Structure 1
Amino acid sequence: MLDVALYGGEDQAVILTYAWDRLLVDPVPGPRGAHDFTGLKQLTPSVSTVPAEARPIAPAGSTLPRLAADLPHTFALLDPHHGTEGVTRQLEELIALLEPESIDLLDVGGDILARGDEPTLKSPLADALTLSAACQVNASIRLLIAGPGLDGELSPDDLRPVLGPTVHTLMAKDVEPISAVLEWHPSEATAMLAATARGIRGTCEVRDAGLPVPLTDEGPRVHEVDLDDALGRNTLARAIMTTAALDEVEAYSREVCGFSEIDYERNKAAWLMDQPPVKLDAEAVLSQLGQFEAEARRRGVTHTTFRHITEALNLNGSQRNSLRRLLISSRPQQYDTPLWRITTEPE
């Protein structure tokens, strides 16, 4: 979306990204590495691309192969299992090979700017690891924050003093190139970024905990932030600069932030394994949805994501797309693409 908005999408971009789809898509806790896939293509000694024909090795799951099939970009696997040293090495090899005209480090929401002690912080590890590596590479890297506050972790008010100039304000036309992807991809942050670009405003409830995220005029804005300023603010990123294994990064996260997000995933995965399967019965689901929406209205919620509905109705991740099709076919007027609108009154 930003490649088209900022660069016109004319030159094919390489997107270096984690294979970390959380438990909605991937039942295995934590991020996936190259050893979790078949069909990868070696680009450099430590960087592999994920083509459309690649497949995660069961029981792991990943959205990257389908993204590679649906979009023209080259997707390369960001592998955190060798700590900051490993990610730094990946960046250095890619830069040497590609000699890119520009390098953007993108975070949706802004938790890459977290100090580490914020009570609302949920997933600092991936951001801190990438920031720590980016600051050690001998190259000009621009840090971009899209949709301040849209990840539900840091509020726009907390972020506003740190944000630099607005590089771009996303509009509906910028969303069109990925509109087909939004029909199936579970990313809540990207969905809300696209929704605000399309003019949707209100309060969106997300994640399993039902965090309320304001959808405001700040949502579609993309800000630049000084990379060194971000590192100076992010205690965890500074602490992990010499780590050589993901276990080390986790240990520092527990020390600095009081928790590891992978521990949360481990505990949740173990809990999910003990839950009996729930059948997707249309009549029962719509009845449960009515109760969920009534309660959401009382909380002042105007929108939610299909991921949140899936978890709120105690369904599993594999049922998300079936649930989505059921709701859209039953109540198309409530589909505020790509979010679900909570009506003010039952329809």
Structure 2
Amino acid sequence: MTDLFIAAGGGGDPIGAALTAIAMGDGADGGPPVIATYAWERPEVDPTPGPLGVRDFTGLVPRPEGPVLTPAARAVAPAGSTLPRLAADLPVRLVLLDPHQGLAGLAEQIRRLAGALAPGPVRIVDVGGDILTHGDEGTLCSPLPDALVLAACTLAGIHATVHVAGAGTDGEIPQEVLLDRFGADSGACGRLTPAAGHTAAVARALSWHPSEASALFAAAVRGVRGTVATVGRAIPLTDASADVLGMRLAAAVEQNPVARGLLELRPTSVDEAADLSARLTGIHEIARERGPAVPSDPATEPFPADAHRAWERIRAMAGPASHVTSRFAVRALGLSWRHVPDVRALLGDEGPVHALRS
């Protein structure tokens, strides 16, 4: 049996959650760690608005713990998802969270998941830390997925802890602000620093996935320090970027006004939950995804002829940063995120982020 991990933010969070689970030693005595996750990804991966549900996939495997994603699963067009490939490249069992039945339905899914596994705590993992939003941060982008997990776990009545992996690496709340939220009397409950060797388990996934937050977390664990240019903003990597910080579930809910609002309203759909989040934070994630189509990592340029010219373009876009993410590099070269493996090979750099060269 194994504890249940929940990748709270969707997107690339299963990668950071896998690194966290492996560092905690889960799966060492038997089967692989179990990670529950949304299929909620950026528009260049999934052009349809909002999270995907069970009905949006073929090839899911029903198990007592829930619908399991395997490499044979496929998102039903026009939807897209990186989860089937992550199921092949991460040493974990991925279970799909489907929030389309509202908060009560999500809580029941999590209750069943926890009941089918070991009696230990559920570990909620958020890469970056926006799960501790106060709702008013100027750089906040996506408060709803994490808040839904907090509220659903509370409603489910399970024993859960919250773990922020790589504080600040998602660029939504500055690291120093997050660290203050783990201060005295905050409900903090421990700190873990994965070893550099633990990142080998997620290296294959990071070699192609467009996640930046999980890539920065893994890079920090491997010892990278400096300022990393991402598609959104430059993010500093410090010693704290390599840590996983724990907090009691109730304390995390107390910090998050969206989670508290969800528990009060008990929304019956994702749209209703998004409306509430928008009233509290000004950010409506579903409406944003339903808005006018915008270019999303289009391949607008030919592939670079040589590494020297590629580095010249990347450096010109990166400014004073010391490193760049793979996603930043492909954007700077006018390529699609699907070119990440090709660009990594061209640059001759197999790490989670790339050091800028003169």
Shorter-chain TM range is 0.7 to 0.9
Secondary structure of residue in 2 paired with 1:94: helix
1:83, 1:244 within 8 Å by CA — same for their partners in 2? yes
- Alignment root-mean-square deviation, CA: 2.3
**1:277 CA displacement:** 5.4
Q: Which residue of 2 aligns with 1:62?
A: 81
Equivalent residue letter for 1:95: A
Is 1:206 the counterpart of 2:225 in the alignment?
no
Is 1:116 the counterpart of 2:139 in the alignment?
no
Is 1:310 the counterpart of 2:330 in the alignment?
yes
Tell me how many residue pairs correspond in the alignment: 331
Equivalent residue letter for 1:340: H
Q: Which moved more, 1:126-135 or 1:78-87?
A: 78-87
Q: Which residue of 1 aligns with 2:4?
A: none
Q: Which residue of 1 aligns with 2:295?
A: 272
Is 1:323 the counterpart of 2:346 in the alignment?
no
Looking at structure 2, the residues matched to 323 and 296 of structure 1 have their Cα atoms a distance apart, in angstroms, of: 16
Equivalent residue letter for 1:36: D
**1:279 CA displacement:** 4.2
Q: Match for 1:132 among 142, 151, 155?
A: 151
Equivalent residue letter for 1:102: P
Q: Which residue of 1 aligns with 2:48?
A: 28
Looking at structure 1, the residues matched to 304 and 48 of structure 2 have their Cα atoms a distance apart, in angstroms, of: 29
Is 1:47 the counterpart of 2:71 in the alignment?
no
Q: Which moved more, 1:128-137 or 1:306-315?
A: 306-315
1:24, 1:318 within 8 Å by CA — same for their partners in 2? no
Looking at structure 2, the residues matched to 55 and 257 of structure 1 have their Cα atoms a distance apart, in angstroms, of: 34
Secondary structure of residue in 1 paired with 2:156: coil
Is 1:185 the counterpart of 2:205 in the alignment?
no
Question: Are residues 277 and 75 of structure 1, via their aligned partners in 2, closer, same or farther at CA, if it must alter by over 3 Å?
Answer: closer
Question: Are residues 340 and 135 of structure 1, via their aligned partners in 2, closer, same or farther at CA, if it must alter by over 3 Å?
Answer: same
Identity %: 37
Is 1:301 the counterpart of 2:321 in the alignment?
yes
Q: Which moved more, 1:158-167 or 1:133-142?
A: 158-167
**1:294 CA displacement:** 2.8
Looking at structure 1, the residues matched to 306 and 196 of structure 2 have their Cα atoms a distance apart, in angstroms, of: 35
1:22, 1:29 within 8 Å by CA — same for their partners in 2? no
2:313, 2:333 within 8 Å by CA — same for their partners in 1? no
**1:38 CA displacement:** 0.4
Q: Which residue of 2 aligns with 1:7?
A: 25
Q: Which residue of 2 aligns with 1:339?
A: 353
Secondary structure of residue in 1 paired with 2:277: helix
Secondary structure of residue in 1 paired with 2:44: helix
Equivalent residue letter for 1:71: L
Q: Which moved more, 1:181-190 or 1:65-74?
A: 65-74
Q: Which residue of 1 aligns with 2:252?
A: 230
Looking at structure 1, the residues matched to 225 and 356 of structure 2 have their Cα atoms a distance apart, in angstroms, of: 12
Equivalent residue letter for 2:77: A
Is 1:92 the counterpart of 2:111 in the alignment?
yes
Secondary structure of residue in 1 paired with 2:96: strand
Q: Which moved more, 1:115-124 or 1:55-64?
A: 55-64
**1:113 CA displacement:** 0.3
Question: Are residues 32 and 78 of structure 1, via their aligned partners in 2, closer, same or farther at CA, if it must alter by over 3 Å?
Answer: same
1:279-294 to 2 correspondence within 5 Å?
A: 279-283=301-305, 287=309, 289-294=311-316
Question: Are residues 276 and 61 of structure 1, via their aligned partners in 2, closer, same or farther at CA, if it must alter by over 3 Å?
Answer: closer
Looking at structure 2, the residues matched to 79 and 310 of structure 1 have their Cα atoms a distance apart, in angstroms, of: 31
Equivalent residue letter for 1:61: G
**1:99 CA displacement:** 4.0
Q: Match for 1:37 among 46, 57, 60?
A: 57
Looking at structure 1, the residues matched to 103 and 308 of structure 2 have their Cα atoms a distance apart, in angstroms, of: 46
1:152-167 to 2 correspondence within 5 Å?
A: 152-163=171-182, 164-167=188-191
Looking at structure 2, the residues matched to 40 and 295 of structure 1 have their Cα atoms a distance apart, in angstroms, of: 41
Equivalent residue letter for 1:339: V
Question: Are residues 276 and 31 of structure 1, via their aligned partners in 2, closer, same or farther at CA, if it must alter by over 3 Å?
Answer: closer
Q: Which moved more, 1:313-322 or 1:75-84?
A: 313-322
Secondary structure of residue in 1 paired with 2:121: coil
Looking at structure 1, the residues matched to 330 and 44 of structure 2 have their Cα atoms a distance apart, in angstroms, of: 9
**1:28 CA displacement:** 2.4
Question: Are residues 293 and 264 of structure 1, via their aligned partners in 2, closer, same or farther at CA, if it must alter by over 3 Å?
Answer: farther
TM-score between both structures, scaled by the size of structure 1: 0.88
Q: Which residue of 2 aligns with 1:221?
A: 243
Secondary structure of residue in 1 paired with 2:239: coil
Looking at structure 2, the residues matched to 263 and 323 of structure 1 have their Cα atoms a distance apart, in angstroms, of: 33
Equivalent residue letter for 1:323: V
**1:288 CA displacement:** 6.4
**1:309 CA displacement:** 2.4
Q: Which moved more, 1:126-135 or 1:288-297?
A: 288-297
Q: Which moved more, 1:283-292 or 1:52-61?
A: 283-292
